[in-house]
Amino acid sequence: MRAAEIMLRRVWPERKGRPLSLSLPPLTDAADLSAAMATIIQAVTAGEITPDEGQALSALIEAQRKTIETHDLAARMDAIEQLLPKGKP
């Protein structure tokens, strides 16, 4: 029986962490990110989530920030390129 448990854990590892019920705003721009971080900080300080859970959520917010930043920079670059003369390096 023990061998079966060991094999099962390798095929289907135990879940780490727990599902969180934390209402965050949609993360579509920089202002949304600030509001989400404030919600996470408040939840940690109120004891609703652990500091480790807050850190994990903050890492997700940071990843979304980078995504938004990359998208915004690409749009700005496209706008600048449209203003440049065509056919000249």
Number of Cβ atoms within 10 Å of the Cβ of 36: 22
> Tens digit of pLDDT for each residue in 35-77?
999 999 999 999 999 999 999 999 999 999 999 999 999 999 9
Q: Is the pTM value of this prediction over 0.85?
A: no
Tokens standing for residue 57:
């959520």
Q: Is 47 left (phi over 0), alpha (psi -120 to 50) or beta?
A: left
Q: How confident is the model at residue 66, as a pLDDT?
A: 95
Domain boundaries, the chain: 29-84
Do residues 37 and 53 lie in contact, with contact meaning Cβ atoms separated by under 8 Å?
Answer: no
Q: How confident is the model at residue 44, as a pLDDT?
A: 96
Q: Please state, in angstroms and rounded to a whole number, the distance separating the CA atoms of residues 52 and 32.
A: 22
> Tens digit of pLDDT for each residue in 16-45?
777 778 888 889 988 899 999 999 999 999
